[in-house]
Amino acid sequence: MRIAIASDHAAFDLKAELREYLIELGHEVADLGPETADRVDYPDYGYKLAGVVADGTAQFGVALCGSGIGISIAVNRNPACRCALVTDPYAATLAREHNDANVVAMGARLIGVDQAKACLDAFLSAQFANGRHTGRVDKLTHPTC
For the chain, which ranges sit under pLDDT 50? none
Among 98, 91, 120, 116, residue whose Cα is nearest residue 29: 120
Domain that holds residue 115: 2-141
Tens digits of per-residue pLDDT, 17-54?
999 999 999 999 999 999 999 999 999 999 999 999 99
Could you tell me how far CA 44 lies from the centroid of its own chain?
15
The pLDDT, as a whole number, for residue 139 is 77
- Can you give the length of the chain in residues? 145
**CATH (domain of 64):** 3.40.1400.10
State if pTM tops 0.75. Answer: yes
Show which residues are catalytic. 65, 98
Tell me how many domains the chain contains: 1
